[in-house]
Structure 1
């Protein structure tokens, strides 16, 4: 278990390092430049490993990001987060930080009551819900004069300078109104009926607790907003590349037509080159299809023991969609037990 926890912490640190690199490289101009859920999960892992100072820093960062990044996190701050952050401040004896956070986030918690109960363990439910959006291709027809303007503005370069020179020469001979195709990526949502998981926790003799998961990460919104932030640059490069490719195609067409012996041969050449150009112009529609649409978390403090979890997956109106039962869940005093759930309806 310790090895798995350390491995999870390594991956969480990698996420934060990647995001910090993006900020350095792009100056924080993109909406998605900090990840509240990554900080939240990192804080939970640090707490599970008794690294309380690091846990406090990550949890506080998560709270600030949820509050600041409302375009990405357009849902209430997870109810557990601020309580947990204050409890970490209490463990560390950070009274000033405790008072400041209580005031800023309007959380009412008594300093004496904030000390965690180490005689109990904690169930942490991570609910991966739905599937992330997927990319499709959208294409437009653009006049050559407009497309070539992108080449000039972007000062487009190519590894083959000879081809670039040929494209520039051919551009002068192409009618300004000739049309060519440009393709761009677009995200399409993957709707899901399930909104949350409601869990009942039972011992051998009785029900001892119930909990619901709450949204902590909206991968769909992050993916869509991130593409929106970058689409202008993507379009500029795509149009410039397509314009260059079109000019090169016309240059090849001109040379082949010189050798054609009949109008039929010339028509076949034109159609073949048009088909090849259409096939070559494709948007990058790669995406990580196995990611969930959203990630929800739920928590329960429990006495040490072995439990059975009854999981009800419900829609936004709390109508039951499906159910599963998980048996043999062990809770240990002062420790966390992480249980992953996956729903895809």
Structure 2
């Protein structure tokens, strides 16, 4: 990579992307009813984050989803620990993603503290959250609907060329570095309507922010490598000219210029944001409606589908909305702009 560009390096993805691999594998297992396998993915994500040993590298939504999986499996103590950890990670990593502790997560943690009899911790968190009047909901005979919305597309890496001065060569050198477009795209809201309940889904993961923060933390090293590479190339051009003449030096210049590109590889099918909502409902079959609300506050997309709720079970629906389906010239039923999976779990 010293002589060509960073795209010749092996691509492992940023750390947040490495963790999200396990998140999406877990959601896929849930859609197939294999919740134990989803639990394994959450544990693998935990091992990966523990190996890094740095709180800023922890992903708060991964902790949150771990709690949901543990709760679905009846492992309430583990769910409580995961929710508690998620709260702390949201607070400690806010500079990277810009999100406060989700209100839904606060309720989930309080509910699990009450369920596991952790009264001292319950009172402590009620005070911290400003929720002194909190009372656990009556879930007797109820089932739970959990909607996970993958909203939009994560920012796509581009490149920009900059001129920087090399003291070693005593001249200005052009290098290419990766960048993300500014400003970030507007994120649509999603409104859930089911039964007599209506809720706006809450942001639980700002992938746009994580991507930009990851690039910002690595840009110094990227720039240093690019500058070192450019200096080596300039030396090669000079030596080629001295040995083989001006035409050979020009050919080397053209080759070096063409190969000087930034590493713009990224996981480009990730959503811009992940949103979530949880609703308790009596057993029965419902018509679930999801409205995507644009910047003008108008509904830009809407779709309905039936969902069956069973008492004591959780129904988890995961979707990815990218663009209004009507804007696609030849929609394909199996993929389209919305992918959906739903499964009841004990």
TM-score, length of structure 2 as denominator length: 0.78
1:53 aligns with 2:77: yes
Query: CA shift at 1:246, angstroms?
Result: 2.3
SS of the residue corresponding to residue 287 of structure 2 reads strand
Q: Which of 2, 5, 9 pairs up with 2:39?
A: 9
1:127 aligns with 2:157: no
Q: Which of 162, 185, 188 pairs up with 2:178?
A: 185
Query: CA shift at 1:144, angstroms?
Result: 3.7
* Pair 1:338–1:177, CA change in 2 (3 A): same
Query: CA shift at 1:72, angstroms?
Result: 2.8
1:227-238 equivalences under 5 Å are 227-238=215-226
1:339 aligns with 2:317: yes
Runs of 4+ in 1 over 4 A off after TM superposition: 189-194
1:83 aligns with 2:107: yes
Query: CA shift at 1:317, angstroms?
Result: 5.2
- Counterpart of 2:62 in structure 1 is 38
RMSD: 2.2
SS of the residue corresponding to residue 160 of structure 2 reads strand
- Counterpart of 2:276 in structure 1 is 297
SS of the residue corresponding to residue 180 of structure 2 reads strand
Q: Is the 8 A contact 1:143 1:180 kept in 2?
A: yes
Give the distance between the partners of 1:301 and 1:189, measured in 2 at CA: 39
Give the distance between the partners of 2:182 and 2:58, measured in 1 at CA: 22
Give the distance between the partners of 1:278 and 1:43, measured in 2 at CA: 50
Q: Is the 8 A contact 2:166 2:231 kept in 1?
A: yes
Q: Is the 8 A contact 2:187 2:273 kept in 1?
A: no
Give the distance between the partners of 2:255 and 2:132, measured in 1 at CA: 66
Query: CA shift at 1:340, angstroms?
Result: 1.4
Residues 171-204 of structure 1, C-alpha deviation per residue, up to 9 Å, x if partnerless?
Answer: xxxxx43443221111225855552211221xxx
Q: Is the 8 A contact 2:240 2:248 kept in 1?
A: no
Q: Is the 8 A contact 1:134 1:190 kept in 2?
A: no
TM-score, length of structure 1 as denominator length: 0.78
Unaligned runs of 5+ in 2: 1-29, 324-346
Residues 296-338 of structure 1, C-alpha deviation per residue, up to 9 Å, x if partnerless?
Answer: 00111011122221111102553211111122x1211111111
Choose 2-11 or 279-288, whichever is displaced more: 2-11
Unaligned runs of 5+ in 1: 149-175, 202-206, 258-265
* Pair 1:249–1:10, CA change in 2 (3 A): farther
* Pair 1:232–1:106, CA change in 2 (3 A): same
Of structures 1 and 2, the larger Rg is shown by 1
Give the distance between the partners of 1:129 and 1:190, measured in 2 at CA: 17
* Pair 1:292–1:109, CA change in 2 (3 A): same
* Pair 1:108–1:299, CA change in 2 (3 A): same
Q: Is the 8 A contact 1:200 1:210 kept in 2?
A: yes
Give the distance between the partners of 1:78 and 1:316, measured in 2 at CA: 22
SS of the residue corresponding to residue 11 of structure 1 reads helix
* Pair 1:281–1:219, CA change in 2 (3 A): same
Query: CA shift at 1:109, angstroms?
Result: 4.1
- Counterpart of 1:101 in structure 2 is 125
How many pairs are equivalent?
Answer: 293
Q: Is the 8 A contact 2:99 2:206 kept in 1?
A: no
- Counterpart of 1:240 in structure 2 is 228
* Pair 1:50–1:118, CA change in 2 (3 A): farther
Q: Is the 8 A contact 2:144 2:314 kept in 1?
A: yes
Q: Is the 8 A contact 1:194 1:314 kept in 2?
A: no
Give the distance between the partners of 1:246 and 1:13, measured in 2 at CA: 49
Q: Is the 8 A contact 1:133 1:190 kept in 2?
A: no
Give the distance between the partners of 2:288 and 2:176, measured in 1 at CA: 48
- Counterpart of 1:330 in structure 2 is 308
Choose 134-143 or 275-284, whichever is displaced more: 134-143
